[in-house]
């Protein structure tokens, strides 16, 4: 039997680099643009591109539930539609109904999109996800979030 191990670290915001802290601040600012009238669960995301530019996104709910999008995919799709720059880093934060920090761990659909972009650009994408205690889970490669993945090579 083989084992899969995922290596990650936890850190307070102050323990992260200035670049990472700045990206988290952008993701926090993006929380206010979330359209979450059903769940009242706001998620903000910020994507740092190779050239240093930042694209933000937030969750967008819809009464027809499958029609909404998560913050990560909003930011990634916007970035990819506007530039060919590789993605270096993604930060994700959330705020619950009470206005408190909440776990911001990416869903399977978002993990699939991030993994595919990392494979296409052939470089790692670092990810920082906030938790309900105001700490952050940091992984050096989003592909570790989805170890048995399906991507373009699978189609060939």
CA atoms within 13 A on the CB side of 34: 31
Quick count: other Cβ atoms within 10 Å of Cβ 68? 17
The active-site residue out of 72, 116, 120, 122 is 72
Residue 72 annotated as catalytic: yes
Roughly how many angstroms between the first and final C-alpha of the chain, as a whole number?
Answer: 28
How many Å apart are CA 47 and CA 92, to the nearest integer? 9
Q: Where are the alpha helices (DSSP H) in 12-151?
A: 18-30, 71-82, 108-121
Q: Which residues are catalytic?
A: 72
């Amino acid at each position: 039997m083989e084992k899969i191990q995922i290596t990650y670290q936890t850190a307070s915001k102050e323990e992260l680099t200035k670049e990472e802290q700045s990206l988290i601040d952008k993701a926090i600012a993006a929380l206010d643009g979330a359209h979450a009238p059903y769940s009242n669960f706001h998620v903000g995301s910020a994507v740092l591109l190779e050239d240093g530019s930042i694209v933000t996104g937030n969750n967008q709910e819809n009464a027809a539930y499958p029609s909404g999008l998560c913050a990560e995919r909003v930011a990634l799709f916007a970035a990819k539609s506007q530039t060919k720059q590789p993605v270096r880093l993604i930060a994700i934060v959330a705020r619950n109904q009470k206005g408190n920090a909440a776990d911001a761990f990416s869903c399977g659909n978002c993990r699939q999109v991030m993994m595919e972009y990392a494979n296409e650009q052939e470089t790692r994408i670092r990810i920082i996800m906030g938790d309900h205690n105001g700490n952050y889970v940091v992984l050096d490669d989003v592909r570790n979030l989805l170890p048995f993945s399906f991507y373009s090579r699978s189609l060939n």
